[in-house]
Every structure is written in structure tokens, then in C-alpha cells.
Homo-oligomer: A and B are copies of this chain.
């Protein structure tokens, strides 16, 4: 709490940092509830890192505000004192944005986890930033709706963090990224001013849509405190299938065919490359849906509204592709048990990867037409920089998004090789995980000097004292060659 902490800090030798922290707590004294401030060794280990391997610094102060007014108070005082802040949701990020750096105080939205009643007429829900994705999914489900995004970290990751990173996941093909779910936000700017846009209107061209600026900005432009999100009608039919195919090219043909045949009912299209499928089969006791030995595997899901006919149409579309030789083998789910067994293979792919040490994970996306060329070039380049490296690939082919994983002891060299191939094929070095601290070194590979300059302009306009997640995504001082205008 404010008072006692002030004295503890003041009793120590007075560095500039501790003086500033003391002043910070003094100014906030009486403006926050008693559970909103944790200091020194009371700040738990969990707050020192995100889901990357690297640990951060233990923040001297952790703020756990209970409401938007408290967030506003914290930010306005930090801004006045040039106190940098690391913003934390569920800390499941894989890019280091929520990992505290020296001199930063932490701001966790974990206590702001309410979910307001579903608006059934509009098909919308307002969640507070600290609510988990799973809690929102469950509230939607109970009210006869579906939430459009699903990711592995659903039980821990929060709405605020999901929005800050524009999370994607397995059903982007059907429902879009997080950006497509957000109808409006409440966000606190660095100076403490609160922007509230929670009307939930699907058409609103009354001035700039400021919400868009905060989505995917990784906590560098403002702190999301609430979000009004779109819900979808709950599907009345659900089926999936697991296919073996001769090649990536065949998977791309299958994707295009199924988009045409199933339209928006095609809700997921995942690929698993042979080396990952081999690892998956070693980890699962269940009999494999299709035998190993193919050139590519695909997991396909359909969600529809025609309970009577959808599953047959889904199976018929796949059988047609089998007869044409696009797929070499296919297992279609015929029960909810089958359905879950097939999705379990996808989860087993993630678990297989996490079971290995020294795996460098690259979350890239590519134009589908350039994907094979990227794979050929990256594989050759990586073999050159680390002949001992082995490559494991799976991902969301429907979105051009591959999780490209390399077991290597030479992270930087392999990253340089991978990202330079991504860039030369017109891809993205981060499809869904964001840039954070981990990838910022490579950002100028895929963003032009003019884009880097525009991003800095935006950051300066919204956070002139650079207090919010400073050094994430990019540094304010240009570092790459050609970036100085």
C-alpha cells in the first residue's frame, strides 16, 4: 500500500529510480484500493515473464487496478513522472511484450475480469480486459452464441492481451482475427485519458475508428480496459476430417476446392507436415486416422447451420477430392468422439514441439502461391547455416500461416535465414504472435523505412513520453540501415 511502501523506499539509498517510485506511490496514495499495489519481493515470479523461455526483471511495483478509473490514475501519474510501464494480461505471449525490463513497473489487468450480460438482440458481449478468452467463450455458449476466436492459451490468455496482439488461432479462415470480433473498445491513453467506444454498432462511420489503433499495437499505444465483441450464431452442425495428401500443392488445391464448395462453412484448415505427424503418432496411443507415409496431412473443420444435411455435404466434398486424387486418404468424423480425437492430433502436434529442447519457433505467414518456394529456400539456407538443424512445420494453411520450428543451437543465424526468406517471398515475420522484444530486430526486413517512420509518429502522438511498453515492437530511435529519413 502507498503509505508504508513510501517509507520503505525512502529508507533505502535514494537512486533516481527509487525516488521516482517513491514519488509515484505518494501521488497515487488514496487513489487506489488496498489490493491494487504490490511492491518489492511481494511481486510474484509469475509477473516476471511471459511464455517465452527468457525471464525478465522483477518489477519494483506491480499495479493490479480494479477499474478503469484506477488505470487512468496510474497512467496519468506514470506519464507525469516518465515512469515506464509493462502491461500484462495473461502473460501467454510468445514475443516478450509483457516481459518486464529494468526500471519498469508492471500493470496487470487481472482483477478486471468481469463479463457483462450478453446483449442477445445485438449478439454482442462486453468483457473487461482481464477476463480469459475461455470465460468469454463459455458465456457466449451459455447464451446460445459462439465466440469466433480460439487459441491454445484460451484458459489463461485474456481479452485485453488478445486484443493487444490481435490474436488469431484456428478459425481465422471463418471468423477472422480478433480485429474482426471487436466492435468497440474502452482504452486508457498514456496521459490517463479514457476513450470509451462500447456502443456495439456494426456500422459506425462517425469520425475516426480509434479502436483499430489499439488492436495489435502490443500495449504500446494505450491500455485496453474493456471490449464490446461480436458473437456468432452457434453452429448447428459440426464435423471435421483428417486427410493424407501427396504434397503441399495438393493441400492448396484442396483448400481452394473446399472454400468454393463449402463457402463460410469451412471453419478450419490446418496442415501437419510429415516430421510433425511422425512425432504426433509416437505420442498418441489412439490408432492413427490415416497411416504415416504421406507427403502432407490436413485437418479440416466445417461448421454449419443445417444439422440434417451439412455432414453429408462435407463428406461428399471430401470424397470427391479423394476420387480425383487430391487427397490420398481421408477419415471423416462421424461422432463427437471422432471429432475430438481428430482435434487432439492438432494439440499433440503442439505438445510434440514443446517436448523438444532448443526449438526456435517462427510464426510466419506467406502468400499461398509463394509458400513452397519459401520452404525450399529456407530449408536450403538453414541447412547451410546449421547442418545439424531439423525442421518441424504445422500451421493454419487456410490463412497462409505456418508455425515453422527449427531445432537448432544457433538461433540468431537460423532466424536471420528464415526471416530473410520470409521477407524475400513477401511474407510476414509474425503472423499472429506479434513482435514484442523477440522479433523487433527483424521488423525492418518486412516494413519499409516510411512505415517504420509512420509507426513512430503514431507512437509519439499517442504516448509522447514513451511510457507504455517502451522498446516493444520497435525502438523510438531508428536502428536499421536506411531507416534514418
Contact = CB atoms under 8 A, between A and B. Distances in A.
Contacts of A196: 448, 450
A194 B450 CA distance: 7
A88 interface: no
A305 B201 contact: no
A168 B451 contact: no
A128 interface: no
Contacts of A119: 367, 369
Given A201-B365, A202-B172, A212-B212, A123 B207 contact: no
A466 interface: no
A166 interface: yes
Contacts of A435: 205-207
Contact of A252 (B121, B168, B304, B448): B121
A261 B305 contact: yes
A171 interface: no
Interface stretch (A36-44, A150-158, A422-430): A422-430
A457 interface: yes
A245 interface: no
Contacts of A443: 206-207
Contacts of A235: 263
Contact of A454 (B189, B396, B452): B189
Contacts of A207: 435, 443, 446-447, 451-452, 455, 473-474
Contacts of A287: none
B121 A203 contact: no
Contact of A262 (B120, B221, B305): B305
A305 B199 contact: no
A264 interface: yes
A458 interface: yes
Contacts of A121: 252, 256, 367-369
A454 B214 CA distance: 12
Contact of A208 (B194, B217, B259, B433): B217
A195 interface: yes
9 contacts: A179-B209, A180-B180, A189-B450, A195-B454, A199-B367, A207-B435, A207-B443, A208-B458, A262-B305
Given A179-B212, A208-B473, A309-B309, 10 more contacts: A119-B367, A122-B369, A205-B434, A206-B428, A206-B447, A233-B263, A234-B260, A260-B305, A263-B305, A306-B306
